[in-house]
Chain A
Amino acid sequence: MRGIRTTRRSVCPVLLVLAFLLQGCGGASREGAKRASLVSIPVPDLVSATDEVREQLRAQQNELDRLLEGDLSSAELVEAFGDLGLLYITYSFLDAAEVCFANAERLVPEDHRWPYLLGYIFEIQGRLEEAERVLVRAAGLDPADAPTLIRLGRVRLEQGRYEEARAHFEGVLAIDSGSAAGIDGLGKAAAGLGDHSGAVEYFERALELQPTASSVHYALGLAYRRLGDLELARKNLDEGGDGAVLFVDPLLQPVAQLGRSAELYLVRGAQAFAIERWEEAAAHYREALAIEPENFTTYKALGFCLQKLGDLDGAIDLLFEAIQTGASTDPARDRLEHSEIYRILGGLTALQGRAGKATELFQTSLELNPDRPDVLSKLANALSRQGRFEEALPHYNRALELIPDHTEFLVQRATALTNLRRSREALSDFRRAVELEPENALVRQQFAEVLEFLGDDGAARREREAAIRLAKQGGGQVDILFREALALVRRGELEPAVGKFGEILEIEPGHTDARFQLASVLGHQGHLDQALAEFEQVISEAPLLRSARRAEITILLLQGRYGDARVRLNRALEALPRDRQLAMAFVHLLAAAPDARVRDGRLALEVAQRIYAAGPADPQVVETLAMAYAEAGQVAKAVELQRQLLEQVSAAGNGGLVNRVKLRLAAYEQGSAWRATSPREIIEANLAADAAGNAEPGSMSGT
């Protein structure tokens, strides 16, 4: 018995050979019969596959060939068939995978894994009768295997055999009563049998168990529609997405780890993204970029992941890189996509409070794809935030020309008009908006705010009351409360604002924005412990939210907890390794903290050199490096750098900075490092670092 390599004609003359031909060698022996029953594995078309993939398949096939030389009863041989089959599944060579599992089953017919894996292949290929046959066999071999029953149930659903499907899904629940896949299956079976109320209950439960399974919303929406509840139908249909109902599938789990092509990582990234596993998606996209660094789509996808993770700076960097990469070769698509990316960049920078930058980005988006009403309104909003209401108006007008009765645009224009004291026009827009959506609590609330601004307190109160009533009825209460709380903050009424944020968090504990605002207000009020606790909660909800990380560290420094600050900075840099601002703060703490137990000159220098190497070498970076050199005992180097810096800042005429540089230079010239004498000096050093921005590529942690 030996594995034989074959060649392919025409299109792929040099083709990897993965097949083996089996010849009987044991006469009439059982071994011989078993050998004869094995089928040769079809050779996949690998003519343009990547070298890595080819090599991976070749190695696995070689291992199988080696084992085939030996004893057919070897457990290793069966596993080798299984491993190769899984590898073929990974790359979607399903014909080959099928033969691998079929051979494994011939060798060990009592092992339920092989008919199960065959069933998976048949199911995804739509070979329903074959899938049914092998899955029934698998279920017979292991009746308590939930994945087998789930797949069998799904096949029955596809066949329209709803009663049988229901029985399988009930079997799943007998094994695991909390199986979202089992409950979703029961919902589908109920829907198939015309029991739409039952279906609704099952789908609701499945969503409770697995909220990321957005595809269930679609089924739920249709069930509500069948029950005549068009409102809930529409709501759920709108919420429907690609998120599949997942279940633990140990036999197929290895597939997620096997592949080595950029395409596979992209597919996995998209799958993880669809079920809101942002970290996992980001990891897959990073793998894809490592294999194929010039891929526009991957940059874009990773940027969106970082946005979801709250890493706005990271998302912005990557989306800019996506545009600059220009790997797409489709200018028409680029134009539209770049316009869309600029729109998103505008939104992200607006979120960061950089309205000027957002304005530029929205303008660029419109240059590439003019007359998009949503972008026109966002541009106008960004201008309004800068107080440039006159400039904003034409954009609102154009957006409203394109969609004349758009409530949101009307409200936004009305707000701009209010600020321009064009009250009559503003009121006209608001009245139209309220006319269009009288039940919209948010519109009524905004109307109330404008009336208040215009001094019509009576009307404002009536609108506010209407807004609150509507919000309570319609479930939009949190939005109203949040707006009210922010308005209180703007007016400096911090104590009532704390109360409002508290109310919001009681209703919706996961409202990260409200918690962040609450923590900020508490910090302003000097309730540092409470603020810190809230920021920590925010960080646990949004680990990549830089502003929360910075606020947490600032509070710890204010409290003089340098050791804790070092630990948290370390953690922050683990989460945000590209954040130059955090890295510089880390150096400052290591080099200049009043507490000697916290200082570490060697580490400070290592991180500072990394920041410096990443560039640009602006004054803050040079000063940080000098600080680290001094603490590391290389004072001469610190003096040299600080002198260069002094020349540079003196020429620039920045008096405050010149004085600071001189002060630290004096310390270095005396052969000592500079030490902060109070928490505030460290914070100021951080603020100086803030001004340097943070745009370096590459990791700067390393602690």
Chain B
Amino acid sequence: MVDPAKDTAAVLVGDIFSDEAAEAGLDFVHFNGMSGDYYMAEVTGAGVGLLDYDNDGDLDVYLLQGAMLGPGKTIDDAILPPPGEPPFKDRLYRNDLGDLDIGDGRLSFTDVTEESGLEATGYGMGVATGDFDGDGWVDLYVTNLGANQLWHNNGDDTFTDVTRGSGAGDELWSVPAAFFDYDGDGRLDLFVGNYIAADFDNRTICRDLAGGLDYCGPGAFAPLADRLLRGMGDGSFEDVTEAAGLTGGFGGALGVIVADFNGDSKPDIYVANDGMANNLWLNQGAGTFVDEALLAGCALSGQGKAEASMGVDAADYDGDGDLDLFMTHLTGESNTLYLNDGSGLFEDASVDSGLGPPSRLFTSFGTGWFDYDNDGLLDLLTVSGAVKKIESQARAGDPLPLHLPNQLFRNLGGARFRDVSAEAGAVFELSEVSRGTAFGDLDNDGDADAVIANNSGPVRLLVNHVGNRNHWLGVRLVGAESLVDQLGARVALVRPGGEVLWREVRTARGFASAHDPRVLFGLGEDEGYDFVRAHWPNGGVEEWRGLESGRYHTLRHGQGSRIESE
């Protein structure tokens, strides 16, 4: 492990990340359809998804597209040039890296949208991944400004839209979504976070303090109710929102994390709401939830203010075995780190951790915990772009005066972080309107890369050049019968001396994005560890010893040594 006092980021040679999207063939450019009417939706999306749709062992990329907005608008009205001819649709890029063992860092993507059968022409917001029918092929749920879509992976490199009749459709403005098994029946359920009720036929006009046109804030619209859909096991879903007690207190949802926050082994739901109190729906068992965010201290900022709350992620960053929350907010607010005391009560540790102050100049969306340098400590990336005109950019005549650079925060240990963006590479000098980001080891070289979805701009592929200088161990937790990623599973890597690295199998996190389901343990300079222990989502603990470091292992439910005491 790295000595926390010794900040290795400063001594790393060369860039930590570089953008290799163009070289790798990831040529997607987002189009937001803005035409001068300041529709809020045009600056809201979009997320990005990483998934291995063809089960070939590497992560493919799903990117969400926009469209023209507003009645009667055509691309001739577009202020920013469209990427080609309409209709615009989401794109699926196949990763041609191939075999797991190659890991040579040469990435190459092919746009396979047309042959995949994906016909996602909605105004894209977010994406969730999960194998809802348990057939071993990961499926997609796409949230839109308008009708959402459930895409079934046919297992032959194609998808079928099975929304109709599935009960998973939603015509509202949805942003985040997450597959999870809230009732422990072994079938994936779905949480859909809905945002606000905006009508594009009748534009709501918002102005800045001088009376100039500007984008509206969420307060100009009514927040929409989120939905909890119970997976019936036959590919259909039942709306159990009301029955589950999710009956009020909704805000405009932009982020969602499903995880066990209070240590009772039942998955809870944390919803990050834009400008309104966040929800912490604690799972009561028997299929019901109660919102305890206020008492838990994670409804509002430490100052008692409802903040913008865009992206959110949860992880055990301080190694005490519970899940802490990190959220991104608006300029003038600060990103928030909520430290869990183990019982599901949180303290705002934004200031003391060093994460708050450097974020106050930024409006950030996508985020996530990841150990970019494999030192065993979870770091953070925040990707940014404003939602209200930035004065200096507007003054300079920028048609989309919202761009900001992204930030990388290194975990120094001792619950302290440092902004290392300036040392992280030229890609951190870019100023763009970034929204979603997803983490995953796209080149299978043992460290976490990131894909960043920009609004009205090209996608960025941040390839990690430093992580695998340290030792690592990767695991994929799957079901007993098929290659179904065990969403919600917890994995502990126990090191000599008893230090434990806790990680979770979770794809839905950050801002409206889907991440690598695999777990990557950074081992630092010492590859030694005692064992890996998997806590399966529906009970049962198994242990593996002797897994070789420096490579990925698939851990199948039932094939480890069963541990009775936990």
Contact = CB atoms under 8 A, between A and B. Distances in A.
Interface of A: 8-12, 42-50, 52-53, 90-96, 124-128, 157-160, 192, 215, 217-219, 222, 225, 230, 233-234, 237-238, 240, 242, 259, 261-264, 267, 328-333, 336-337
A330 B199 contact: yes
Nearest to A9: B397
Given A128-B357, A261-B209, A332-B198, 5 more contacts: A44-B210, A46-B212, A92-B208, A158-B351, A263-B208
Contacts of B305: 215, 242
A44 B391 contact: yes
Contacts of B389: 45
A473 to B, nearest CB: 23
A92 B394 CA distance: 14
A259 B211 CA distance: 11
A230 B292 CA distance: 12
Contact of B395 (A43, A125, A337): A43
Contacts of B208: 49, 91-92, 263
B211 A261 contact: yes
A259 B197 contact: no
A684 B209 CA distance: 52
A217 B397 CA distance: 44
B328 to A, nearest CB: 14
A52 B203 CA distance: 24
A692 B463 CA distance: 78
A125 B203 contact: no
B197 A45 contact: no
29 contacts: A8-B397, A42-B391, A44-B395, A45-B394, A45-B401, A48-B207, A48-B213, A49-B210, A90-B209, A91-B208, A92-B208, A125-B331, A126-B334, A127-B360, A158-B356, A159-B351, A160-B352, A217-B304, A218-B303, A259-B209, A261-B211, A263-B208, A329-B203, A330-B222, A331-B202, A332-B199, A332-B221, A333-B199, A333-B221
A458 B168 CA distance: 58
A133 to B, nearest CB: 14
B204 interface: yes
Nearest to B38: A48
Nearest to B303: A215
A67 B365 CA distance: 46
Interface stretch (B23-31, B227-235, B293-301): B293-301
Given A46-B212, A90-B209, A242-B305, A225 B297 contact: yes
B332 interface: yes
A70 B306 CA distance: 49
B480 interface: no
Contacts of B475: none
Interface in B348-380: 351-352, 356-357, 360-361
Nearest to A261: B211
A534 to B, nearest CB: 38
A350 to B, nearest CB: 23
A237 B292 CA distance: 11
A241 to B, nearest CB: 8
B395 A332 contact: no
A124 B332 contact: yes
User: When A and B form their complex, which 4 residue pairs have the shortest distance between CB atoms, in order from nearest?
Assistant: A126-B360, A218-B304, A50-B211, A329-B202
Given A128-B357, A158-B351, A158-B357, A230 B295 contact: yes
Interface residues of B, number: 43
B507 to A, nearest CB: 31
B294 A238 contact: yes
B171 to A, nearest CB: 11
Contacts of B304: 215, 217-219, 240
Given A219-B304, A240-B300, A125 B361 contact: yes
B297 A328 contact: no
Contacts of B332: 124-126
Contacts of A52: 211
Interface string B396-409: 01010100000000
A48 B205 CA distance: 12
Contacts, number: 146
Q: Give the dominant DSSP class at B's interface.
A: loop
A233 B294 CA distance: 10
B416 to A, nearest CB: 10
Contacts of A91: 208-210
Interface string B423-439: 00000000000000000
A421 B96 CA distance: 78
A261 B207 contact: yes
B64 to A, nearest CB: 23
B392 interface: yes
Contacts of A160: 351-352
Contacts of A126: 331-332, 334, 357, 360-361
Of B209, B297, B401, chain A has the most CB atoms within 10 Å of the CB of B209
A274 to B, nearest CB: 11
Nearest to A240: B304
B386 to A, nearest CB: 13
Nearest to B393: A45
A50 B213 CA distance: 10
Interface string B292-326: 00110100101111000000000000000000000
B395 A42 contact: yes
Contacts of A234: 294-295
A224 to B, nearest CB: 11
Given A233-B295, A333-B222, A337-B222, A94 B212 contact: no
Given A126-B334, A330-B204, A222 B297 contact: yes
Nearest to A234: B295
Contact of A329 (B204, B207, B294, B399): B204
B345 interface: yes
A261 B352 CA distance: 40
Contact of A45 (B199, B209, B391): B391
Nearest to B205: A329
A175 B295 CA distance: 36
B362 to A, nearest CB: 9
Contacts of B204: 328-330, 333
Interface in B68-105: none
A129 B412 CA distance: 22
Contact of A336 (B210, B222, B294, B361): B222
A261 B202 contact: no
A470 to B, nearest CB: 24
B357 A237 contact: no
B217 to A, nearest CB: 12
Contacts of A333: 197-199, 204, 221-222
Given A11-B399, A160-B352, A332 B209 contact: no
A113 B397 CA distance: 33
A237 B294 contact: yes
Q: Which of B332, B352, B391 has the most CB of A within 10 A?
A: B391
Contacts of B209: 90-92, 259, 261, 263-264, 267
A330 B352 contact: no
A50 B208 CA distance: 10
A233 B177 CA distance: 32
A49 B211 contact: yes
A11 to B, nearest CB: 5
A50 B304 CA distance: 34
Contacts of A331: 199, 202
B212 A330 contact: no
A536 to B, nearest CB: 38
Contacts of A328: 204
A52 B211 CA distance: 9
A330 B197 contact: yes
A330 B211 contact: no
A330 B397 contact: no
B326 to A, nearest CB: 17
A10 B209 CA distance: 23
Interface string B192-203: 000001110011
A693 B204 CA distance: 36
A47 B211 contact: no
B459 to A, nearest CB: 26
